[in-house]
Amino acid sequence: MSLDLDADVVTLCGQLVDIESVSRNEREIADVVEAALGPLAHLDVVRRGHTVVARTELGRSERVVIAGHLDTVPLNDNLPSRNDGVDLHGLGACDMKGGDAVILRLAAGVPDPARDVTFVLYEGEEIESEFNGLGRLVADDPGLLGADLAILMEPSDGVVEAGCQGTMRVDVTTAGERAHSARAWRGVNAIHLAAPVLDRLAAYEPRMPVIDGLTYHEGLNAVGISGGVAGNVLPDRCTVSVNYRFAPDRSEAEAVAYVRAFFAGYDVSVADSAPGALPGLDRPAARAFVDAVGGTVNPKFGWTDVSRFSALGVPAVNFGPGDPMLAHKQEEFVPVEQLRHCERVLAAWLRGKR
Amino acid sequence: MSLDLDADVVTLCGQLVDIESVSRNEREIADVVEAALGPLAHLDVVRRGHTVVARTELGRSERVVIAGHLDTVPLNDNLPSRNDGVDLHGLGACDMKGGDAVILRLAAGVPDPARDVTFVLYEGEEIESEFNGLGRLVADDPGLLGADLAILMEPSDGVVEAGCQGTMRVDVTTAGERAHSARAWRGVNAIHLAAPVLDRLAAYEPRMPVIDGLTYHEGLNAVGISGGVAGNVLPDRCTVSVNYRFAPDRSEAEAVAYVRAFFAGYDVSVADSAPGALPGLDRPAARAFVDAVGGTVNPKFGWTDVSRFSALGVPAVNFGPGDPMLAHKQEEFVPVEQLRHCERVLAAWLRGKR
């Protein structure tokens, strides 16, 4: 398998979708990306794990990072890709191999940009943050990410989405006492004890704060539940894994406090957490990019790695093809026209005024 | 590892406990049981899978089956065995290696019984009934089980327990729609939909019918729950595995109807089912045994293989050492005195009037 970077962006996106790359299985896609970028004389290519970084070194006065993750959520009977002429369908088409295809086209097709560019195609975005390839660069090699602006090509319907919500996973656990299920009155069923936990989740009303004129939308959802010892044993333990998405006016500490209060009376442990990012539209580099691509800005609901750039002091926005509402859905797709629009807008901006 | 059938019943029970034999891992214990019984000249020993059958063929006018299962529920930090002088502790001590130890002592120590005896030590009792070694004999080799009476040495505190409750496992499933957890309003969370399922279980009131003077006690319990796709995906499916224990006045068909009505509005599928057995104390062979060992009779709450013998037309009772309330509990044990009592009573009855 090899990629043809001279193919149009739609064909290239289909090729990327057809390389299955569910999180923790990014070796093959990283190999073909590295093999495609390596021969390009204007790029310095380095690899860290299954993350590929390709940089121009043209001595420009500005540098921009353009980044996308290579992994997807699990398969859901949605491979191989299918192009119906209007939309390209398939696992990851929207989140975010459409953005990756634009990145690869820019890397190959704009050899002499007005701004130096650092292209980053990375692993492990869809799972626990310890696996996040961009997070590993921040920790191990932050110099590779220095820039005046970062553009994350997460799906945003081809308009700029600013900021991002934070995300936190907690385990809410109930403890019972095992007993033979034929004599249940001698034990305590931990799964039954979890009924009020699910009741609270089902009744949850999301907070929707307005920040810099953008309306965010929080969420609190069970993303997993497990319990059970054997088919004839009252279980002594049930764990509900809950994902809290919090608006960027709330810190991680405030988010933890909220969740603990929400599940008052239950054992709550934090499994994973990443802060949100405020919209940051007061930063000149971000505002200039927004103006260049049309001026429209929406809030970003999903957590994205703009938060990692915010933490490094680099203003960052989301801008990519695909409807963010389709991310992680079985029927995800990316509109062909959005792929072309994003490539066109970014290529023009990169080639623009020196 | 080998067993010493000349050791006292308590030592032998400790040896059996120390051979880990969680369901589907009975090979080793069946090997040592077969090796211990094989050399005894008065027994014909056959093996089917990890089930061992040993029969006398003395031409007596009556035959009795004495049976016990070799498997246990999963480990729970309760091995090796520990004998404190009063009780023998450890996984399976109560359910039912105490009974197995008595069986092996009788097999070795009563070579000339007044009744022909068929000893059965079998696999797969603690899991789905398709794995049940006795059930396999019923299906494949019912002639091996022909008898005037069957005694199952399930823990019954050394008194006769009659009948047994039926057991049925059903899966109650909710269906939602996947979405990215950052935009939860675009999907439907199947785990949240399961909240009323757990609410109904938590509010369940058991039926306690009186049959032949014995009070049974039903139970309806979640024994497993699962759901979840990934840490940032609204799950589209949640399954609650429910175990219904029903009194023997209710048929399997009636039990299914009850469970479907209880979970009305939800998708219910039957995973596993085994009928109960009525007390059967009207049968002469059962009544005679009860009288011989003291006359006290309690209801049996747990499902046991008396139901399989009932289906073959063989009257069957439960009689074994150990408190049935301790079965499947982490701290299970069997009282030393009950081990000795059961061996003594059964040996005397087997040697008794010809």
CB contact under 8 A, B182 and A76: no
CB pairs under 8 A between A and B: 223
Contacts of A327 in chain B (CB under 8 A): 180, 183
Report domain extents, chain B: 9-164+277-350, 166-274
Return residues 273-312 of B near A (CB < 8 Å): 301-303
Instruction: Specify the pLDDT at position B353.
Output: 54
Interface of B with A in 112-171 (CB under 8 A): 126-128, 165, 167, 169
CB contact under 8 A, B235 and A227: no
Q: What's the mean per-residue pLDDT of chain B? A: 94
Lowest mean per-residue pLDDT among A4-13, A275-284, B104-113: A275-284
User: pLDDT tens digits for A4-36?
Assistant: 999 999 999 999 999 999 999 999 999 999 999
- Does residue B310 carry a pLDDT above 80? yes
Q: Alpha-carbon distance A343 to A151, whole Å?
A: 13
What ipTM did this prediction achieve? 0.74
- pLDDT computed for residue B354 by the predictor: 36
Instruction: Identify the pLDDT of residue B253.
Output: 97
A354 pLDDT band (50/70/90 cuts)?
very low
Q: Are the Cβ atoms of A74 and B230 closer than 8 angstroms?
A: yes
Domain A166-274, CATH among 3.40.50.170, 3.30.420.40, 3.30.420.250, 3.30.70.360: 3.30.70.360
Residue of A48, A22, A20 lying closest to A34 (CA atoms): A48
Overall pTM surpassing 0.80 (yes/no):
no
- What's chain B look like in SS3? CCCCCCCCHHHHHHHHHCCCCECCCCHHHHHHHHHHHCCCCCCEEEEECCEEEEECCCCCCCEEEEEEECCECCCCCCCCCEECCCEEECCCHHHHHHHHHHHHHHHHHCCCCCCEEEEEEECCCCCCHHHCHHHHHHHHCHHHHCCCEEEECCCCCCCEEECECEEEEEEEEEECECEEHHHHHHCECHHHHCHHHHHHHHHCCCCCCEECCEECCCEEEEEEEEEECCCCEECCEEEEEEEEEECCCCCHHHHHHHHHHHCCCCEEEEEEEECCECCCCCCHHHHHHHHHCCCCEEECCCCCCHHHHHHHCCCEEECCCCCHHHCCCCCCEEEHHHHHHHHHHHHHHHHCCC
Segment B38-70, tens digit of pLDDT: 999 999 999 999 999 999 999 999 999 999 999
pLDDT, position A161: 92
Q: Would you give the distance in Å from CA B44 to the centre of its chain?
A: 25
Q: Name the minimum distance, in Å, from the CA of A178 to any CA of chain B.
A: 6
Of A291 and A238, more confident: A238
User: Could you confirm whether A128 is annotated as catalytic?
Assistant: no
CATH number of B9-164+277-350: 3.40.630.10
Least confident of A181-185, A209-213, B223-227: A209-213
In which band, very low, low, confident or very high, does the pLDDT at A59 lie, cut at 50, 70 and 90?
Answer: very high
- The predicted pLDDT at position B294 comes to 85
Interface of A with B in 220-239 (CB under 8 A): 221-235, 238
pLDDT digits (tens, 9 = 90+) for B126-147: 998 889 999 999 999 999 999 9
Over range A335-354, report the average pLDDT.
89
Query: Is A243's CB within 8 Å of B231's CB?
Result: yes
Give the distance from residue B91's alpha carbon to the nearest chain A alpha carbon, in angstroms: 13
